[in-house]
Amino acid sequence: MFSGISGNVLMLGLVSFLTDVSSEMIYPLLPLFITGVLGAGPAFLGMIEGIAESTAALLKLVSGIACDRIRGRKGLVLAGYTLSSLSRPLIALAATPLAVLVVRFSDRVGKGIRTSPRDALIADSTDAAMRGKAFGFHRSLDHAGAIVGPLLATALMAWFVSDLRTVFWLAAIPGILAVALIVFKVRDVAHPVSAGSLSSVKMAPPRRIRGYLLILLLFTLGNSSDVFLLLRAGHLGVTPARIPLLWTFFHVVKMFSAMPFGTLSDRIGRRGMIIAGWAVYTTAYAGFALAASELHIWLLFAWYGLFYGMTEGAEKAYLTDLAAPAERGNAFGWYNFAVGVGALPASLLFGMIWQKASPQAAFYFGAGLACLAALCLLAWAPPSPAPKTTAPEL
């Protein structure tokens, strides 16, 4: 089952597991904390998430380009995880929505620094014919952390603490463990270094991935923050005590689907898998618009989780197939930039449509853009080249 998974991929998966335990002890409770405790509305919630993710997107681009021009990627990975692990629990000190924005900004700066170098390091450490499986494996462990995190938060609130701020402080512990794992267990892998210095960088993505990135940006404009799904769940009867359980259930689906669908993409092609995943997204968002009960919400979260399983590993493996080895960091930088730069307008638009029109209109808007992006990918994006099997260096 784990053949083809290198030591680096395993360690980076465990790092993501611990980081998501920390993050997901906080994230499912954040909409209730911001709107209930601090008194902000849906539009401000969208602004917080949009600014945070767009900040991360820009830094993912910079760090991706930078890591192609230095010998090692581990230093950037370590710096990013350390900043996030130290800043994230400071939400416990927030007295205003603006303070939450500042902490989320710092957390996402760390994510921006680490993500592209980490993805490039995974690609460097994996055989070309198994990249879908490797990225799917990494996402599975990431989602496993997102299962444990809400369960820990639920247990803490049920039996030990009643204050959300205390839960936020305790979230620091797994983050610190993740940083220690990088220091002692993750190793750099030799990779082709792009010519030129950072000052001579041409700020343009590799030509072969440009069409894919434009289509991905179109999809992202309809892909708002998942906090709105949690808000929708609350409006349809899911109580605050059950919100962490719903979020856990969602990540169980993502965890168990990521590696099988990633492996399947190695066999049947990445592009077709991505298109199928975007079709699932379209129907899921239409379903959230039509949902009328808590049962509908649970079923829709299960269906929506398959979208992540079908696309997360396949999208990154597809990008690696298209990019040259010396451009992997650059390619992942632009990929993450395209995904993140659309986050601010996507979440702002979604929040405004929700607030000015209706939740149903907002979800139909997201479904429509996803459907259009899937058709564009089918019509214009190139299929993956046949993989050439090479032995990974780790």
* pLDDT tens, residue by residue, 98-121: 888 888 888 889 998 999 999 999
Q: Reduced to 3 states, what is the DSSP secondary structure of residue 126?
A: coil
Instruction: Convert the pLDDT of each residue in 225-245 to its tens digit.
Output: 888 999 899 899 888 778 878
Please check whether the two domains, 1-187 and 206-380, share a CATH topology.
Answer: yes
- Residue spans of the domains in the chain: they are 1-187, 206-380
pLDDT 10s digits, 291-346 = 999 999 999 999 999 999 999 999 999 998 888 888 888 899 899 888 877 777 88
More confident residue, 283 or 205: 283
State residue 272's pLDDT score: 92
- The CATH architecture one would assign to domain 206-380 is Up-down Bundle (1.20)
Contact partners, residue 242, CB within 8 Å, separation at least 6: none
Q: Specify the CATH number for 1-187; select among 1.10.287.70, 1.20.1250.20, 3.40.630.30, 3.40.50.1370.
A: 1.20.1250.20
Q: Nearest to residue 243, comparing CAs of 308, 170, 301, 174?
A: 301
Tokens of 283: 């129907």
CA-to-CA distance for 328 and 131, rounded, in angstroms? 13
